Amino acid sequence: MNKTSLVFYMGKGGTGKSTVSAISAMVLARVGKKVMVASFDAAHNLSDIFKTRLGHTPRAILPGLLAAEIDRERMIQLFLKETRDSLKRNYSYLTAFNLDGYFNVLKFSPGLEEHALVRALTEIMQGFPDLDYLIIDMPPTAISVKFFLLPTLSRIWIQELEKLRNEINKKKKIVSTVRYGNKEHGRDKILNRIMTLKQEYMDLEALFRNPATTTLSVVLNNDSLSISETERIVSDLGKNNIPVKSVVWNRVDDTRGLPGFSIAGSRPLSLPSSADSLTGIDTLNQFVDSWEVDASTLVERVTGSKLL
């Protein structure tokens, strides 16, 4: 889509994903990078961490650093409106059968949250193409895994719809030829829409699987629940060719002897415990000053690549 490097911090709830996201963004902004950190979690924490009121529209909180807390309900309503409008355009004949009222059932469809978050990601990337780094503070594991698998599952479903539509068109053509001869047929709006959606999902699938531009990093603590959930994340996404590139141990001073989760070439990053609550820009700056990790090391450990 663009030159922006994407970093998704995911993992079990309560491990400190928001803190790691905020600190990573500050470290990168300090060396002159254009950075945005955005919370995709419904229980937003970035406002509390920065002690700055944030909303859906990104705002500058430091030189080179934008922050936002995505309004998931707003994105769901936008997605529903776009879907309803598209259905009404392509199936306008349904209104003759008084079926348009059934469009309201869409709000109960499964997967709406994941679709809304994908829509939010696309909106940010299109609206801010000059970012060097876009850091996403993800929701807890269940929604995050569904988010990353959404393009693949939707693409498979769309391909079956494509086959079905092509079969319908073949039969329509046979009937039309019998009735009207070899008359040229108009474009199929429904098939065109199916093909557009298929390409969108294929593009997202490629984005999530591209190690050159996209990093999935799991934030965890040194406890059995965090570790076992991280193992499941790495396994579930790996089965779908979506690699987890790194782990970040939060509130851990020494990573020696801790599991590596079979992530090839990964060197774990750790954020040490802090005696103070890591809230407020001044406190965060003091932590970054004392942390023995610079921007280059951060990027290499988390993304496996060099600082942009």
Q: What percent of the chain has pLDDT over 90?
A: 62
The Cα 242–Cα 249 span in angstroms is: 21
Q: What CA–CA distance (Å, rounded) separates 12 from 29?
A: 27
pLDDT-derived band at 202, boundaries 50, 70, 90: very high
Checking if the pLDDT of 92 tops 90, the result is no
Percent of the chain with pLDDT over 70: 88
Q: For strands 59-62 and 65-69, give the pairing.
A: antiparallel
Spatial strand order of the sheet with 5-10 comes to 59-62, 65-69, 35-39, 133-137, 5-10, 214-220, 246-250, 269-271
Which residues fall within 8 angstroms of residue 151, CB to CB, at 6 or more apart?
118, 201, 202, 204, 205, 208
Task: Tell me the whole-structure pTM to 2 decimals.
Answer: 0.88
Work out the average pLDDT over 84-109: 64
Give the span between the Cα atoms of 291 and 251, in whole angstroms: 12
pLDDT at 308 (0 to 100): 76
Which has the higher per-residue pLDDT, 258 or 16? 16
- Which residue is listed with tokens 């963004």? 25
Contact between residue 40 and residue 117 where contact means Cβ atoms under 8 Å apart: yes
Residue-wise pLDDT for 112-139, tens only, equals 889 999 999 999 999 999 999 999 999 9
Q: Are 250 and 220 in contact (CB under 8 A)?
A: yes
Residue 96: is its pLDDT beyond 60?
Answer: no
Pairing between β-strand 133-137 and β-strand 214-220 as defined by DSSP bridges: unpaired
Backbone phi, psi, residue 234, to 5°: -60, -40
Q: What is the per-residue pLDDT for 107?
A: 67
Evaluate whether the domain defined by 5-74+117-154+212-303 bears CATH number 3.40.50.300: yes
Amino acid letter for position 288: V
Of 6-10, 52-56, 110-114, which range is least confident?
A: 110-114
At 265 the pLDDT is: 63
* Domain regions of the chain by residue span: 5-74+117-154+212-303, 77-107
Mean pLDDT taken over the chain: 88
Give 1 or 28, the one with higher predicted confidence: 28
Output the six-digit token pair for 259. Answer: 């599991």
Residue 1 has pLDDT above 50, yes or no: no
Degrees (nearest 5) of the Cα angle 244, 285, 268?
25
User: What confidence tier does 105 reach under pLDDT thresholds 50, 70, 90?
Assistant: low
